[in-house]
Each structure stands twice: as structure tokens, then as C-alpha cells.
Amino acid sequence: MLVFVFLASAFCDSGKTTRYWDCCKGSCGWEAKADVSKPIDTCAKDGTTRVASNDTVKSGCDGGDGFMCYDQTPWGVNDSYALGFAAAAISGGEKAACCNCYELTFTSGPVNGKKMTVQVTNTGGDLGSNQFDLAIPGGGVGIYNGCTAQSGAPADGWGSRYGGVSSRSECSQLPSGLQAGCQWRFDWFQNADNPSMNFNVVSCPSELIAKTNCRRN
């Protein structure tokens, strides 16, 4: 038992979170990014139809037919625990992160003490060290905007380009398949604005793998 506790704490680190939803094919949807069973599922323009998970499908942000899937969004399991997905920048890059799962324990804001397990599906050139960019519909498109091509969103996405919509009622602007994930931010997440957190690697819950069909080998 003492050895287990020591190992668990040794792999714990601190970082920060942000939020985004740019509709682009996730970087972990390309081949040879990491030692995984297969790249993450990529979806067609409708957000639900799975397309080939390989390098032949270009991202919708580059004029292709590959987009984020509507079911790769967050949800609350109970009042203190949630599941979801994220882009991440951690030591080892995509080779270490793609399709790995991390338990985040929030350490600031209204979600202080709450926990969330995320599977990494993406990265970002604008992410700092130990930053997890939570995939939250209506969270802001950031650098890239594939949401106009996929869903007819405004040029800067829904709401502000960085930060997204500002109220729960604005989630109604999103496609119906994304509205629950958008509302999650104002319900379970209590509209927390980029809270800090501690994180550690955990085994991926089957509920997350079922939505990406990607697991570490």
C-alpha cells in the first residue's frame, strides 16, 4: 500500500485548463502519432457519421471532410465527477498523450475539489506546458474555425472566438447534438473560467474509449 501511494503521487503534476471547440479533426486522428489501437474516430459534416480514421481524410479546417464528433463532449457522472475530452500539451508530446486518460482535480474557482477524467484527442500549437484545453462545445474556436464549414457557425464561432458563448441560453445557437455539452459548462462546471488543476495518468474509462475507439497499446 505504501508503494502504491508513492507511485501515484510521483506521477501527479499541476497545470491549468482552458476550453475550446473548433470542430477540426483532432490531431490524434492521424496515423503514427502514438502507439495506439487506431487513431481517434473522426466524423463527417453531420457530426455523427464516422469516416475513415487515417491520413486520407483531411481536416475540415483544411478544406477536408473530417470534423470533431458530436459525442466527444463532456458530461457529469455525478455532482463531483465528470468525463470528457481535451487537447493537451504535456511532457512527451502527442506520442505520450494521444488517447491516454488523465484525472484532473480542479484546485481553483467554483469547481475546486471536483474531478474530471479526460481522454486526450488533440494538441494545440498555442498551448503552454501542462495545459489541458477542455473540449466544450461553444467554448470558443480559438486559432482555427471549422465550425462554419461544419455547422454554419459565425466567422468567429459561437460567441467570442476565445471563450465562446457567455450564457447557458446561448447554447441554443449550437447544433442540437452539441447543446448538452455546451450546457454542461454552465451546470456541472459552474461556468468556471480556466481553473487550475492537478493531474495524473489513469486507466481510460470504457465510456470514453467507446466514443473515440482509441486505446493505448
Q: Which of 13, 22, 41, 187 is catalytic?
A: 22
- State how far the Cα of 128 lies from the Cα of 210, in Å rounded to an integer: 29
Separation CA 122–CA 136 (nearest Å): 13
For 41-100, where are the E strands, in sequence order? 42-43, 50-51, 75-78, 81-89
Alpha-carbon distance 100 to 105, whole Å?
Answer: 16
Say how far apart CA 59 and CA 203 lie, in whole Å: 29
What is d(CA 99, CA 28) in angstroms, rounded to the nearest whole number?
Answer: 7
User: Which cell numbers in the block locate residue 67?
Assistant: 470534423
Q: Is 22 a catalytic residue?
A: yes
> Which residues touch 63 (CB under 8 Å, ≥6 apart)?
none
Positions marked catalytic: 22
